[in-house]
Amino acid sequence: MESRRSRNRLNSINNDSSATEDMLHAKLSQMVWEASSRQMKDTLNSYGRIDIFRPYFDVEPRQIRNRLIQSFIPRKPSQMNVSNDMYGPTMIILTLVALLLYSMKSSGYTVQDGTLIGTAMVTCFGAWFFMSLAIYTLCLMFSVDISFVQFCSLYGYSLCSHCVVLLLTMIFHPLHSHLFFYATMIIFCVPSVLRVSLYLCSRTHDYSHKLAITVTTYILHLSYLCYLHYGFHVVVEEIDEIIGDMHQSPIISMPLSAT
């Protein structure tokens, strides 16, 4: 009798342990399923956010090449095709950053690399955004039919002229004269900004609106190139001096008052 009772107890214990293991396996599989489902949803959401920007960066190299060449050629607005391409302007701005870094290094200016790279990135991308925003604000005031993305693309491609001018001045610019810089600016930048102005003026009918848009576009476009040529290294050196003074400033300790 006792052996039978002990055998029944062992069987009940085994049954309880197997039931507990089954419950643990079920909970574990449920937790794994919930975690994998959550991860899958996050992945799909991230890909969905990426798909929002895909139309602006899905371009072919041949299209970018043609748009770069066309950015230097003023044409009739009816023959111009403005797209939502943001890949080409982004690459132009990164090229402009690289040219600024190379010009600073080749000129012998000694600043911290982090200061130089950060200032160049903020200067180029910030100028592209704020100049586009300023001109687009005028377009909204004067009811010019163009979207902000289209204008950022149009104006971003026009900044390719800045890259060409900075590259040529770094290679051939004489130290004793700035005539070469102004000559390249007239040859490359003026037609490029003229193309932008012609397209914007074709979207409005009032003469005063056309004049305001043209003058603003020319002033911002050419003054930004003059700043990159004359004033960028001065700003970088001042920022580097400020950061250096902040790192080298001694820690002033307050004396303890005598009790």
Structure tokens at 138: 């005028």
Q: Which residue has the tokens 């990426």?
A: 50
Confidence band for 102, pLDDT divided at 50, 70 and 90: confident
What does the alpha-carbon distance between residue 79 and residue 47 come to, in Å, rounded to a whole number?
A: 36
What does the alpha-carbon distance between residue 131 and residue 151 come to, in Å, rounded to a whole number?
A: 11
Does residue 92 have a pLDDT over 90?
yes
Confidence band for 228, pLDDT divided at 50, 70 and 90: confident
Contact 153, 88 (CB under 8 A): yes
Query: Which backbone phi and psi does 258 adopt, to 5 degrees?
Result: -70, 135
Confidence band for 259, pLDDT divided at 50, 70 and 90: very low
* Average pLDDT score over residue span 157-180: 85
DSSP per position, 53-115? HHHHH---HHHHHHHHHHTTS---GGG-------HHHHHHHHHHHHHHHHHHHHTT----HHH
Pick the more confident residue, 126 or 49: 126
Distances, alpha carbon 236 to alpha carbons 109, 165, 210, 231, in Å: 9, 20, 36, 9
Q: What percent of the chain has a predicted confidence (pLDDT) above 90? A: 38
Contact 184, 169 (CB under 8 A): yes
Does residue 6 have a pLDDT over 60?
no
Range with the largest mean pLDDT of 62-66, 102-106, 171-175, 244-248: 62-66
Confidence band for 129, pLDDT divided at 50, 70 and 90: very high
Look up residue 162 and give its amino acid.
H
Pick the more confident residue, 172 or 242: 172
Taking the CA atoms of 95, 97, 100 and 104 in sequence, report the sign of the dihedral they define. negative
